[in-house]
Structure 1
Amino acid sequence: MTAAVLVNGSPDPVVSIHDRGLAFGDGVFRTLLVRAGRPLNWERQYRRLVHDCVALALTPPGEHALLGEIAAVAPQEAVVKITVTRGAGPRGYAIAGGETPTRVVAAHPLPDYPEALAREGVHVRWCELVLGEQPRLAGVKSLNRLESVFARSEWDDPGIREGLLCDAAGCVIGGTMSNVFIVLAGALATPELSRCGVAGAQRERIIDLARDAGVSCEVRDIGVEELGRADEVFLTNSLMGLWPVSKLDDREWTRFPVADRFRERIADDDSRAA
């Protein structure tokens, strides 16, 4: 399929060259899967979008309007990206205050992810890039993604599916495109994201599913050494779903019982929402 795009509800895909999203990355976005015309994990996706808009003092788009636009661009199966910017404004960093937000809803083909990645796990590596701390933007999926761009550019080996990132203190934050969970003695832990990083909707879902299943899930700082001795490590985002890590440096994992259970719980959660 070719991408279908609506800009502020219009099929004319034009964004002003003065748009602050283009000029400064002044905006946020969310990416989600649509299956059989239904946006998956929608409640959490929309909640995260609203949270991020509020963090940047942007007016969030209405849920009803967004759902209508998603249905228009993705009537069956697609990846949908929702982008909200502050809109066009005068030159300079200052926010004038009268900008009208720009809303872009675009559909793209599904990613070509072999099913074996979820069953057998993926190889990952450590990135050399160190994430900068900015608590004001921590957790927000803003349009400023240059750190991820440069980190992902550190390797071109197709056998490595993801790179893991740390902050200046050596705490694990996440992947270039994913959130990270570790398993120790049956309990989950995922990195604290109050200093930097992106809080994904799928991460939020895993935390909720763990609580509902009575499984401990701590949100806390995780060091490199602790991750290396974990019983399991897995990655999440809305497109991959959940991928176990099978190899990192010299450490290999061959069994993923906890990851497998949570992948099943994600599928059950999607089916109940249908």
Structure 2
Amino acid sequence: MILINGQPETMLQVADRGLQYGDGLFETIPFRHGHLEYLTEHKERLLRGCERLQIDFNEMAALQRELDIVCKQVSGDGVIKIILTRGSGGRGYKPPKDSIPQRIISFHPLPDYPITHQSGITLQLCSTRLAKNPLLAGIKHLNRLEQVIARNEWDSADIAEGLMLNYDDELIEGTMSNVFLVSDGCLLTPNLSDGGIEGIMRQQVLGLACTLDIPHEIVTLTLDDLYQADEVFVTNSLIRIWPVIALHGTNKKWSHGDITKKIQKALDTAES
């Protein structure tokens, strides 16, 4: 099912700036057991992105009504994706003053990930690097070519996710996930002020760390920190938490450790 500005539609104007320049944002929201998970947090991030890109979006009430329509008409669990573009405009980078943001909502089946991923996955270290860009850091803008190129680096079903560094050799994120390390009992996740997406599940895990009295820090991390970590896991809204047990092409192994299991259990309890 697809709605564009509240109407069943599958075509977008060629002049739309989302198509022309990637001038827009998106959110990917799990729909499980009849409700959208962490919807408030997703909408808040969408609005932060609009502010950052200076998209004049004031139709959140309409967007919510359209989400309600989609949720009532679909059956079973799935994924609802929101795309918000600046709207149509002429040729050239300068946004037209009279552009009207376009709302696109689509429903998709949940990805068919193996259940074994919940107890351990193998990571690929990607050669594609992330550029530093504080202006766009954190938000889910439509320009994801770095991740597209990185994800094209492997085809093996044995590799579940790729890990990405920036050009300063700092560990940032996965191609579709945020990354966490556990070292000496402390939960660590990369500083994303220069790049990367501030994931909704990353936010939930940091909140659970506070609740569970797990020491945690947002810090600059490198490959050395990864290799020396006692536990590693990756997160996003769809996969929740995948423990990492191996790094492809190396002898490096990690255990599905106690802190990872503790956070997984707390997350399952909070969502039940």
Shared fold per TM-score greater than 0.5: yes
Q: Distance in 2 between matches of 1:63 and 1:187?
A: 39
Opposite residue 228 of structure 1, the aligned amino acid is: Y
Opposite residue 172 of structure 2, the aligned amino acid is: I
- The residue number in structure 1 matching 2:177 is 178
- The residue number in structure 1 matching 2:152 is 153
Question: SS of 1:97's equivalent?
Answer: coil
Opposite residue 109 of structure 1, the aligned amino acid is: P
**Equivalent runs, 1:73-88 vs 2, <5 Å:** 73-75=70-72, 76-88=76-88
**Equivalent runs, 1:196-207 vs 2, <5 Å:** 196-207=195-206
| Counterpart check, 1:30 vs 2:50 | no
For the 8 Å contact 1:49–1:60, the answer to whether it is kept is: no
**Equivalent runs, 1:10-159 vs 2, <5 Å:** 10-60=7-57, 62-75=59-72, 76-119=76-119, 121-159=120-158
- The residue number in structure 1 matching 2:251 is 250
1:45 CA drift (Å): 1.4
Opposite residue 54 of structure 1, the aligned amino acid is: E
Q: Distance in 2 between matches of 1:268 and 1:14?
A: 41
CA RMSD of aligned residues (A): 1.4
Q: Distance in 2 between matches of 1:54 and 1:267?
A: 33
Distance 1:168 1:159, change over 3 A: same
Q: Which moved more, 1:201-210 or 1:64-73?
A: 64-73
Q: Which moved more, 1:153-162 or 1:59-68?
A: 59-68
Provide Cα deviations, 1:220-239, integer angstroms capped at 9, x if missing partner. Answer: 10010111110100000111
Q: Distance in 2 between matches of 1:20 and 1:165?
A: 28
Q: Which moved more, 1:125-134 or 1:205-214?
A: 205-214
Opposite residue 110 of structure 1, the aligned amino acid is: L
Question: SS of 1:172's equivalent?
Answer: strand
**Equivalent runs, 1:201-216 vs 2, <5 Å:** 201-216=200-215
- The residue number in structure 2 matching 1:220 is 219
1:214 CA drift (Å): 2.0
1:62 CA drift (Å): 4.5
TM-score (norm 2): 0.94
State the percentage of identical aligned residues. Answer: 38
1:157 CA drift (Å): 1.1
Provide Cα deviations, 1:69-117, integer angstroms capped at 9, x if missing partner. Answer: 2232234421011111100011110112211001111100111012211
Provide Cα deviations, 1:23-67, integer angstroms capped at 9, x if missing partner. Answer: 000001010101122001222212111111211111346444333
Q: Which runs of 5+ in 2 are unaligned?
A: none
Q: Distance in 2 between matches of 1:68 and 1:157?
A: 41
Q: Which moved more, 1:163-172 or 1:247-256?
A: 247-256
For the 8 Å contact 1:41–1:270, the answer to whether it is kept is: no
- The residue number in structure 1 matching 2:266 is 265
TM-score (norm 1): 0.93
Q: Which moved more, 1:196-205 or 1:247-256?
A: 247-256
